[in-house]
């Protein structure tokens, strides 16, 4: 069944479909002109997501070459560190104050590149090799609208997204989800990965700690604490 879209969401979908060759400048302009409000997305809220998902993730629209999702963030909800697969253009529209980290890969080692806070009304560009993490470090729920698109693919634009799981010394690929402590069935492939700078690992641990505490996953917290301890020695 086709979901009920607000006028603004229907306009957003139509405007994207009417542009044959999109890029990050054009998608920014389209999103900016639509003037989204919480009323447009509230029917896609998913704050009551299961504990094994570290944030709420709901599909609004997918026609193959682009998709729109709504992410719902309650306090302490975070993604793992991830990129966006085959995404060639896209953006995130923020409905609240979000914590954001940008990483860069240097000779297969992941380093912290930038710490940011995004605020309500901000629009941030996304492409496939953007490696980042985002979440809710505040005590107020909010949502974000995500658009991922491609001019060359006709299906699964965010397939083969790379997700880094330093607590398990793994790098996995998924269809686009980037949950912390994710279920095995979401993983398309899995390789060993343990090269994170001390700064990146310490910061990551500080950010994701509330999620693991909330879910009483103390074994994983101990694992991470030991790892950081070993780096200090
Ligand atoms: Fe992302």
Tell me the CA–centroid distance for residue 176 and ligand 1, in Å.
Answer: 8
Q: In total, how many domains does the chain have?
A: 1
Q: What is the pLDDT of residues 97-131, one digit of tens each?
A: 999 999 999 988 999 999 999 999 999 999 888 99
Tell me the CA–centroid distance for residue 84 and ligand 1, in Å.
Answer: 6
Q: Is 2 a domain residue? A: no
Q: Is 79 a domain residue? A: yes
Of the pLDDT bands very low, low, confident and very high (cuts 50, 70, 90), residue 233 is low
* Domain coverage including residue 150: 7-232
Q: What sign results for the dihedral spanned by CA atoms 43, 96, 56, 154?
A: positive
For tokens 């979901």, name the residue: 3
For 89-119, b/e burial (b = at least 16 CB within 10 A) is bbbbbbbbbbbbbbbeeeeeebebeeeeebe
- What pTM does this model have? 0.94
Tell me the CA–centroid distance for residue 220 and ligand 1, in Å.
Answer: 23
Structural tokens at position 217: 């996953």
Of the pLDDT bands very low, low, confident and very high (cuts 50, 70, 90), residue 200 is very high
CATH number at residue 18: 2.60.120.10
Q: Is 1 a domain residue? A: no
User: Would you put residue 176 in left (φ > 0), alpha (ψ -120 to 50) or beta?
Assistant: left
Tell me the CA–centroid distance for residue 125 and ligand 1, in Å.
Answer: 10
Quick check: helix, strand or coil at residue 152? coil
**Residue 1: per-residue pLDDT:** 63
Q: How many Cβ atoms from other residues are within 10 Å of residue 17's Cβ? A: 12
Structural tokens at position 154: 């006709």
Tell me the CA–centroid distance for residue 233 and ligand 1, in Å.
Answer: 33
Q: What is the pLDDT of residues 132-189, one digit of tens each?
A: 999 999 999 999 999 999 999 999 999 999 999 999 999 999 999 999 999 999 999 9
């Amino acid at each position: 069944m086709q979901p009920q879209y607000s006028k603004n969401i229907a306009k957003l979908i139509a405007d994207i479909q009417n542009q044959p060759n999109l890029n990050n400048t054009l998608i920014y302009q389209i999103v900016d002109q639509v003037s989204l409000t919480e009323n447009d997305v509230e029917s896609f809220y998913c704050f009551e997501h299961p504990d094994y998902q570290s944030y709420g993730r709901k599909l609004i629209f997918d026609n193959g070459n682009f998709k729109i999702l709504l992410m719902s963030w309650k306090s302490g909800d975070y993604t793992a560190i991830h990129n966006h697969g085959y995404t060639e253009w896209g953006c995130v529209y923020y409905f609240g104050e979000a914590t954001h980290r940008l990483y860069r890969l240097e000779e297969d080692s992941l380093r912290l590149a930038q710490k940011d806070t995004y605020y309500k009304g901000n629009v941030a560009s996304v492409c496939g090799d953007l490696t980042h993490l985002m979440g809710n470090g505040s005590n107020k729920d909010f949502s974000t609208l995500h658009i991922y698109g491609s001019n060359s693919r006709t299906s699964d634009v965010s397939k083969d997204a790379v997700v880094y799981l330093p607590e398990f010394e793994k790098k996995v690929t998924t269809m686009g989800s980037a949950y912390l402590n994710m279920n095995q069935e979401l993983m398309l492939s899995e390789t060993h990965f343990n090269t994170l700078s001390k700064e990146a690992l310490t910061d990551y641990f500080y950010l994701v700690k509330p999620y693991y505490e909330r879910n009483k996953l103390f074994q994983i917290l101990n694992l991470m604490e030991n790892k950081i301890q070993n780096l200090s020695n």
